[in-house]
Structure 1
Amino acid sequence: QQLWGEIGKSREERERMVHELEAECTRVYRRKVDEATGERALLHQSLAASEAEIAALTAALGAENSTQFKVNKWTVSLNERVSSATALLEELRAMRAERSKQFSDIRSEIEKISAEIAGRSHGQDNSPRAGDAHDLTIRRLNDYRARLSTLQKEKSERLHKVLEHVTEVHSLCDVLGEDFIAIVNEVHPGLHEADPGKPTSISDTTLTRLSQVVAMLTSEKAKRAAMLREAVVPLVELWDLMDSPVEERRGFQKAAAVLRPAKEEVLSSGVLSMASIKRTEEEVERLTRLKAGRMKELVLKRRLELENICRSMHVEPDASTVPEKSIALIDSGLVNPSELMASIDDQIAKAKEEHQSRKDIMEKINKWLLACEEEKWLDDHNVDENRFSTGRTARLNLKRAEKARVIIMKIPAIVDNLMSRTLAWESERKKPFLYDGARLVAVLEEHKQARLRQEEERRRLREQKKLRTLFSEKETMPRLKRP
């Protein structure tokens, strides 16, 4: 008003301008109050929306301690409360995003395994489901994890079964000589592919088909094993009958393993293939054709073996299978060559058994015969006029004579021991012990009697020699003259 007074404004003008100023201040004040009221309303609205979202997120996340996710209402200013709500909301949103990702990953893995078990393709759809946004609790996440664990365990068990079946199919195909890849491809192409991007099929269909293939191949294996066994049995018989060499048998040793039940599960590769069975059957046919031409040779060979064994025992072999008679029987067709061979083999077995039982006695017979030879040599040596010469041969003969006298003194004991063992052998086997066609006991008795006669003769000769010596000495003595 002082300025207006200096300017020269009238009182009415001054009062009018004061009223205008007051009205203008009132309008500015009201505008500021309206602006502040509007800002407060917006803050309240934003705070309410944030609190509502916080409550929704807290409920969806299933937060156990929800007090930490509430806005402090005792804060003085609304801006601080809004800022606190905004920070809390950002934290909850980050938690929701992380939890949603966990749900999405687990659900994707569940769907993937479920698709593998069901045998269908798996779509790569990782978008959250409608229900997942409203229930992201730990309890529900643990339910998903438990379900995933169950599916993973089932997948592992199914994969183990598939691998077992595939391994068994491979083993069967190897033995049967079949195409493993072609058979497995009929079940599922992915079973033999090594591409890591293509998982192994573990569906019910695959497992069922694999079980059927294993059953089919197992049945085929048993069938072919029976076929091969039917061919191998006569083959082994022909080998033994014809005394086939090891080199000729070596090519069929793997096939011959089918006769050993304990080894059936570890048969060699391709041994039950149709080609292997056919080759074995052809070998049987070949040996059958050769059998007739080699039977005479084999019979003679077996007979010679029998004669050698009997000769070593100093006994005569069985006369029923002499070479001339055996060959005549084969040529006439009156006897089966196999039966004749079996008869000779039986005689050989009995001869070997008897040879073993006579072994001890035969060793003592040889000892007795050697002693008798020494005795004969000593007799010849004693009548040799040069036995006392000074040569090296004479000295060696004198040493031998000393040893021979020691051996000769043991002859009676050797004979008695040999006779007792022979009698025991005869008592046990209920038959006489023959040696070169004569009973050994009789030979020994004759030997004892001969030795007695020989000793008696020697004693008589010694007495005669003594008498002749005395007579000669008496004749050479000078005769005394009578007085």
Structure 2
Amino acid sequence: MAPNPNCRSTRIDTAHETLLDELQIIWDEVGESEGEKDKMMLELEQECRNLYRRKIDEANQYRAQIRLAIAGLEAEIEDICCSMGETTSPWNRGLSSAGSLKEQLNAITLKLEEMQIQKNERLEKFMEVMDQIREILAEFSPIERNDSKFSVDESDLSTRALQELEKQLQALQEEKSERLRRVMEHLNTLKALCAVLGLSFEEATRDLHCNSHHDEGYMSISDDSVECLVSAIEHLRKVKLERMQKNCNMFYGI
């Protein structure tokens, strides 16, 4: 329980009277005149006032520092709320009536720590989605790499922004699936052409500047790989037509 201010004041008054009584005894023993006593009492009172004023100024400065700290923490919390797209009014309900300034400071510090945890968790979600987007785009075009394009804008960590980013990821995942389907289709077409022409599939794809065939479970779906497969298919189709034309000419004796 906090000490009673009246009791504190009583103790100060009692100590004050005791010291004055002791000083009065010394003055009487020394033989100070009443005029000197009055003069020294005035000096003593002035020194006490100066001391009290210094203590008041220090207390005022400390109070101002706490208020400034509270205002700074409030601004940080509002910034976090704004970046996460949340309303800023509910968080401070009850904090202003938490009691003393120190109690308010402790309460708002705890609230800021809570908000920072929430922000870090939201930021981690953004980073996870962004990493998946970067990985898929790297599969599409391995040469292009600009990490600045994949930095997270921490000023907008709203649920809406996260949902938009997740939609981008979903669209890229669908495109990746479509590319895989097309690559498999091209590979099957290429194998069929090789079989018709009596060519080895491995030899036919050996000189391709791409990695579209399976390699330890990996299948390239890059733009270059798809173009390589399309070019290879067009070349083999041309070879097939040329052979068909040659066979026709031979059949008809041309």
TM-score normalised by structure 2 residue count: 0.75
In structure 2, the partner of 1:8 is 30
CA displacement, residues 417-472 of structure 1 (integer Å, 9 cap, x when unaligned): xxxxxxxxxxxxxxxxxxxxxxxxxxxxxxxxxxxxxxxxxxxxxxxxxxxxxxxx
Q: How does 1:146-225 map to 2 (within 5 A)?
A: 146-192=167-213, 194-195=215-216, 200-221=219-240, 224=243
Deviations 1:192-211 (A, max 9, x none): 35246xx5332344323322
Once the two structures are TM-superposed, the CA of residue 179 in structure 1 deviates from its matched residue by 3.9
Identity across the alignment (%): 31
Shift of 1:119: 5.1
Query: Does the C-alpha gap of structure 1 residues 207 and 41 become closer, same or farther in structure 2, counting only changes over 3 Å?
Result: same
Tell me the SS of whatever aligns to 2:211: helix
Cα distance change of structure 1 residues 187 and 71 upon mapping to structure 2, 3 Å threshold? farther
Work out whether 1:22 is the aligned partner of 2:17: no
2:160 paired with 1:139: yes
Change beyond 3 A, Cα 1:64–1:179? farther
Distance apart, 1:36 and its partner CA: 0.8
8 Å contact kept, 2:190–2:232: yes
Partner of 2:106: 83
Which residue identity lines up with residue 136 of structure 1 in the other structure?
Answer: L
Within 5 A, what are the aligned runs for 1:261-410? none
After superposition, give the CA deviation of every residue in 1:336-391 in whole Å (9 maximum; x if it has no partner): xxxxxxxxxxxxxxxxxxxxxxxxxxxxxxxxxxxxxxxxxxxxxxxxxxxxxxxx
Query: Structure 1's 69 and 218: CA in aligned 2 closer, same or farther, altered over 3 A?
Result: farther
The separation in 2 between residues aligned to 1:150 and 1:215, in whole angstroms, is: 29
Q: Secondary structure at the match of 1:63?
A: coil
Q: Whole-Å Cα distance in 1 between the matches of residues 201 and 31 of structure 2?
A: 119
> C-alpha displacement at 1:184, in angstroms?
2.5
Q: Offset of 1:174 from its aligned partner?
A: 4.0
Q: Which amino acid aligns with 1:149?
A: Q
Cα distance change, pair 64–181 in 1 and its aligned pair in 2 (3 A): farther
Task: Give me the whole-angstrom Cα distance separating, in 1, the residues matched to 2:117 and 2:206.
Answer: 49
Amino acid at match of 1:94: I
How far, CA to CA, are the matches of 2:118 and 2:149 in structure 1? Answer: 18
1:463 equivalent in structure 2: none
Distance 1:171 1:69, change over 3 A: farther
Give the superposed CA RMSD.
3.1
Distance 1:184 1:3, change over 3 A: farther
Give the letter aligned to residue 101 of structure 1.
E
Matches of 1:106 and 1:69, distance apart in 2: 32
Deviations 1:375-420 (A, max 9, x none): xxxxxxxxxxxxxxxxxxxxxxxxxxxxxxxxxxxxxxxxxxxxxx
8 Å Cα contact 2:98-2:107 kept in structure 1: no
Paired with 1:17 and 1:79, the residues of 2 have a C-alpha distance of: 40
Q: Distance in 2 between matches of 1:174 and 1:85?
A: 74
Flag structure 1 segments of 5+ consecutive residues without an equivalent: 233-483
> Does the 8 A contact of 1:51 with 1:71 survive in 2?
no
Q: Which amino acid aligns with 1:29?
A: Y
For the residues of structure 2 that align with 1:115 and 1:66, how far apart are their CA atoms? 43
**Cα gap change, 1:127/1:192 in structure 2, threshold over 3 Å: closer, same or farther?**
closer
Determine the structure 2 residue equivalent to 1:104.
Answer: 127
Output the amino acid matched with 2:46.
Answer: A
How far is the alpha carbon of 1:41 from its aligned partner?
0.7
Q: Is the CA contact 2:138–2:145 (under 8 Å) kept in the aligned structure 1?
A: yes
Rg (Cα) greater in structure: 1
Partner residue, 1:257: none
Gaps of 5+ in 2: 1-20
Question: Once the two structures are superposed, what CA deviation does each residue of 1:201-231 show, in whole Å capped at 9, x if it has no partner?
Answer: 3234432332232233245346546777999
* Offset at residue 74 of structure 1 (A): 2.0
